[in-house]
Amino acid sequence: MLKILPKIRRPVRCLSAVVAARNEGFAKVMQSDLLAFENFLGKDGVQKDDISNHITDWTGQFKGHGSVVLYPKSTEEVSAILAYCSRNKIAVVPQGGNTGLVGGSIPVHDEVVLSMNKINKQFSFDDTMGILQCDAGFILEELDNKLAKLGYMMPFDLGAKGSCQIGGNVATCAGGIRLIRYGSLHAHLLGLTVVLPDEQGSVLHLGSSIRKDNTSLHTPHLFLGSEGQLGVITSVTMTAVPKPRSVQSAMLGVESFKKCCEVLKLAKSSLSEVISSFEFLDADIMECLKSNLDLHPVLSKSTPFSILVETSGSNEDHDMEKMSAFLDECLSKNLILDGVLAGSSADAANMWKLRESAPLAVTRDGYVYKHDVSLPLENYYELTNVMKARCGDLAKRVVTYGHLGDGNTHLNITAGKRCEELEELMYPFLYEWVVAHGGSISAEHGIGQLKLPYSNLGKESEERLLTKKLKNIFDPNGILNPYKMI
């Protein structure tokens, strides 16, 4: 039975415009504080000018007012900073690659920005057990390239892989396109080094570097998806996965969403040991890609829905045979209208370019309201239809793409410019609808600032109380990443 939640009585302005008032209990950064930071880090570790790239997110929707960025080079320096800031009640925002979509790593008022950019030296890998230990500031793509030389790869892949950092990936529990095959980061995290924002700058070494360790609570997982609320991650221990020797990609055209789900069910059974991605694009995003980026479909027929299926394995002949048999079965059962199997890496790249360019394409419409939610498949595309009817002509486009294999939809609603009338139609209706239909208001991008007004939706009050108790334990002075998530 669906649990219908009461409507939340909150402002219905654009989510990014709902800004919490400054906590006057926090001190403002003074010259004496800057001198203390320079004493910890050296002058080159304290940046006061030209910090716009650290106080503005890449979407341009979140702009903070931080006055200083700190660049520690080690766990010990992070400890010194957090101890000092906790004793002096100075608010701190930990920041990785700053590629998030919910304003989680952007200062709201005058918080100090703690950049992890220079904590990227320690790297070790056990290529027998597949266990990686590395500093939190490593860029995801850099780790992937290092592992490729050893026959492995990271178990997740993100559009922001050239900029995002592994510490931030863990802090936000990043998802991406490989989750259907390798699971979430919960399946791979083994250990963390974390610095607490207490008056000692306590350094915790959590978990271990072995695959099986049931000697304690699985404490590293408290920080997985914590969005910088409990501590600052400086080192990560996790498993990597063998790099596939064979990768096959196919684009399928489907006439109904119901058949998209039937194709997914068939793919899971027919391609079970090799399926690695199952991505979804509707006709509206395909038109957006064409009109805004001049990217054309790879299928000869225009279809209401397109599915991008990828397999990863160790034997090309075997994988090609399985993929071909899968496509033949889809055709024989009338599940697809058209299908193309990539004959080369260039063909596969063209298919993936469509999916990976979707976030950019919608921004060319002018203003875009991005949504990252999870839903049971029976309601996955129903949300799109509901929002099309609700928004009407106020929206330029209502498009959907996403990770159908794990129920994560990226619903994007665009307009020529920001429109308050459109916002009033969308919020809080959209998030209430998602929760009432058994979904989650955040699938893989977190809460941050963007969804803070709605963070109670779908969560029992006892769970919210527990998170606040944990926050008080780990961050007794409340200095770490305030005005967000908790």
- Helix (H) or strand (E) holding 434, with range, is helix 429-436
Q: 24-115 in CATH: which number?
A: 3.30.43.10
Place of tokens 């703690």: 114
Residues 53-79: what's their mean pLDDT? 92
One of 3.30.1490.20, 3.30.450.20, 3.40.50.1000, 3.30.465.10 is the CATH number of 123-242, namely: 3.30.465.10
The proportion of the chain whose per-residue pLDDT surpasses 70, expressed as a percent, equals: 96
Can you spell out the DSSP letters for 168-230? HHHHHT---TTHHHH--GGGTEEEEEEE--STT--EEEEE-SSS---SS--GGGGSTT-TTSS
**Residue 2 confidence (pLDDT) above 70:** no
Return the CATH fold of 365-454.
Alpha-Beta Plaits (3.30.70)
Yes or no: is domain 246-360 CATH 3.40.50.1980?
A: no
pLDDT at 18: 65
**19 — pLDDT class (breaks 50, 70, 90):** confident
- Say whether pLDDT at 461 is over 50: yes
* Residues carrying CATH 3.30.70.2190, the chain: 246-360
Residue 6 has pLDDT above 80, yes or no: no
CA dist 76 and 189 (Å) reads 23
Q: Say if residue 188's pLDDT is above 50.
A: yes
**Per-residue pLDDT tens for 110-139?**
999 999 999 999 999 999 999 999 999 999
Angle at 255 between CA 251 and CA 257, to 5 degrees: 90
Q: What is the C-alpha to C-alpha distance for residues 311 and 181, in angstroms, rounded to an integer?
A: 9
Asked whether the predicted pLDDT for residue 41 surpasses 80, the reply is yes
With H, G, I as helix, E, B as strand and everything else as coil, classify residue 30. Answer: coil
Confidence band (pLDDT; 50, 70, 90) for 11? Answer: very low
pLDDT at 366 over 50: yes
Q: What gap in Å lies between CA 90 and CA 480, rounded to an integer?
A: 9
| Span(s) in the chain for CATH 3.30.465.10 | 123-242
CB 428 within 8 A of CB 10: yes
